[in-house]
Chains A and B, each alone.
Chain A
């Protein structure tokens, strides 16, 4: 699993323990994400979300 790390300045603000737990949670979620998209699949922000038609 690729580890996702909390940025240093936030780790300093919230403490090592919280940052470590957040890192674990984020890493697990990122690992679990379904990335089985065709290579040309556009991201959602390219669409008008209300109709899922492409922005003109």
Chain B
């Protein structure tokens, strides 16, 4: 058996169901790992180890009774970005403003994971309200990157990325409004899915921008990501944006390859609109070669400049966010981190016409982008323009934070999957995105699985003894 902390969720579930692995043993093993290494990574904000072990014991008892109705994640640990509600647990959004906020009930995604038999290990660090950060002026420190704790782990689902990459949990949920699942997935060497808008319920999740928010899974493997998405997806009457569609088997095509698939590549995002780092450009070309060698037909396509998508995303996002934060901005401004305030405030200045114009542009961009799928099965582009930057270097933070190509797909609403494509010369993960037609997440997983089968990037893990330990006093 693999070391328990690197077990895939589906492997662990199979071992538990066949009585070869105890949920208590697995949970205790991960709790021990978190206790040992999380002081150097700050992935978790809230944990209740006794409750987690009690849930694991209950899961074990169910297995020992030969119950045949085990959920697909029975006894498998997971964790949640701390904007997702868990009944009777705090949901702080990593903010002083919600420090005393206790959730009354589970978010829909929490309830679905629990119903699948999964064991909650805790709530994870985020950028404040999924927007600011990384912030050093809040009561809780920012999460750090398991591949090198001096580096930024991406955001805003920073703890989710760090926890999965560190082997603390095989599945964590994050949220993605302008790229906040795919960013941490990129910088931590993980799979991260922003599903189609409407695929996953946002009920019980602290909102950032109603029309752009998505909840999605971060995992170490393609198969686990597809499994996690299948569990959290589906219609929910409590989310007004929820799509009344069934949930397909996202894993059904993982092994059939990409022969004759037509894949468009948007190179101008990272070779013209922004110029990505040499490591990233080289890795992107290698990835396209792998897919071409696997039988896909690759063709370059062009869309609007990256900055046009990013501007449209920003105006919608900040206008909607400020509608949520308006009162706190006047009554509790000093309780925000400085980076949150500086990112949020421009949203108070846009005019109503700016917002509506951005919504009109969004509708046009989405309609135009979706015509690609008349001729292509998937679209590929870069994720971050560089690997992670030093987290405490404020100049690097200012320079590199906006250098990404994720916002376009929040604007269009398409599924977008972050996939590891290698490492920078410093040994830090880099990533591409696979974008597919509305509600065709299975195609993204199919392309990712084919690619990963050849490259095996997801089999690589950080050595936390070398990368995540606190410096000596």
Complex contact A33–B358 (CB within 8 A): yes
Residues in A whose Cβ lies below 8 Å from that of B312: 33-34
CB distance from B407 to the nearest CB of A (A): 12
Complex contact B356–A22 (CB within 8 A): no
Residue B427 at the A interface, CB < 8 A? no
Residue A1 at the B interface, CB < 8 A? no
Complex contact B438–A51 (CB within 8 A): yes
Flag A6-36 by CB within 8 Å of B: 1 or 0 each. 1101101110001101110111011011110
A22 to B336, CA, bound (A): 15
Complex contact B349–A45 (CB within 8 A): no
Question: How many residues does chain B have at the interface if contact means C-beta atoms less than 8 Å apart?
Answer: 46
Complex contact B211–A35 (CB within 8 A): no
Complex contact A34–B311 (CB within 8 A): yes
Q: Which residue of chain B is the closest to A41 with respect to CB atoms?
A: B360
Q: Which residue of chain A is the closest to B332 with respect to CB atoms?
A: A13
Q: Which residue of chain A is the closest to B242 with respect to CB atoms?
A: A50
- Given the interface contacts A4-B350, A34-B361, A35-B357, does A49 sit within 8 Å of B413 by beta carbon? yes
Residues in A whose Cβ lies below 8 Å from that of B351: 4, 30
Flag B237-265 by CB within 8 Å of A: 1 or 0 each. 00001010100000000000000000000
A10 to B328, CA, bound (A): 10
Residues in A whose Cβ lies below 8 Å from that of B21: none
CB distance from B229 to the nearest CB of A (A): 15
Residues in A whose Cβ lies below 8 Å from that of B304: 34
- Given the interface contacts A32-B311, A49-B198, does A41 sit within 8 Å of B348 by beta carbon? no
- Given the interface contacts A34-B308, A49-B413, does A13 sit within 8 Å of B331 by beta carbon? yes
Complex contact B329–A13 (CB within 8 A): yes
A interface, size bucket: 35 or more
A22 to B359, CA, bound (A): 21
Q: Which residue of chain A is the closest to B322 with respect to CB atoms?
A: A10
- Given the interface contacts A14-B333, A49-B241, A50-B439, does A33 sit within 8 Å of B354 by beta carbon? yes
Complex contact A44–B362 (CB within 8 A): yes
Complex contact B438–A52 (CB within 8 A): yes
Interface residues of B in 320-355 (CB under 8 A from A): 326, 329-331, 333, 341-342, 345-351, 354
Segment touching A, from B3-11, B139-147, B363-371: B363-371
Complex contact A22–B366 (CB within 8 A): no
Q: Which residue of chain A is the closest to B369 with respect to CB atoms?
A: A52
A48 to B314, CA, bound (A): 21
Residues in B whose Cβ lies below 8 Å from that of A43: 356, 359-360, 362-363
Complex contact A10–B330 (CB within 8 A): yes
Complex contact B354–A10 (CB within 8 A): no
Residue B114 at the A interface, CB < 8 A? no
- Given the interface contacts A10-B329, A25-B346, A26-B347, does A50 sit within 8 Å of B357 by beta carbon? no
Residues in A whose Cβ lies below 8 Å from that of B199: 50
Complex contact B311–A29 (CB within 8 A): yes
Residue B171 at the A interface, CB < 8 A? no
Residue B315 at the A interface, CB < 8 A? yes
Complex contact B364–A50 (CB within 8 A): no
Residue B457 at the A interface, CB < 8 A? no
Residue B51 at the A interface, CB < 8 A? no
Complex contact B198–A30 (CB within 8 A): no
A51 to B349, CA, bound (A): 31
Q: Which residue of chain B is the closest to A38 with respect to CB atoms?
A: B364
Residues in B whose Cβ lies below 8 Å from that of A44: 211, 359-360, 362-363, 366
Complex contact B350–A30 (CB within 8 A): yes
CB distance from B302 to the nearest CB of A (A): 15
Complex contact B241–A4 (CB within 8 A): no
A31 to B427, CA, bound (A): 40
CB distance from B255 to the nearest CB of A (A): 28
Complex contact B342–A18 (CB within 8 A): yes
Residue B389 at the A interface, CB < 8 A? no
- Given the interface contacts A4-B349, A30-B351, A34-B311, does A13 sit within 8 Å of B333 by beta carbon? yes
Q: Which residue of the partner chain, among B311, B341, B354, contacts A18 with CB atoms under 8 Å?
A: B341
Tell me the A residues contacting B by CB distance below 8 Å.
4-7, 9-10, 12-14, 18-19, 21-23, 25-27, 29-30, 32-35, 37, 41-52
Tell me the B residues contacting A by CB distance below 8 Å.
196-199, 211, 241, 243, 245, 304, 307-308, 311-312, 314-315, 318, 326, 329-331, 333, 341-342, 345-351, 354, 356-364, 366-367, 370, 413, 438-439
Residue contacts A-B, CB under 8 angstroms, 13 given: A10-B333, A19-B345, A22-B342, A22-B346, A25-B345, A27-B349, A32-B311, A34-B308, A37-B357, A43-B356, A44-B363, A50-B438, A52-B370
| CB-CB nearest 5 A-B residue pairs | A50-B198, A22-B345, A43-B359, A26-B349, A26-B346
**With contacts A4-B354, A34-B311 known, what are 5 further pairs, Cβ within 8 A?**
A25-B345, A26-B318, A33-B361, A47-B363, A51-B438
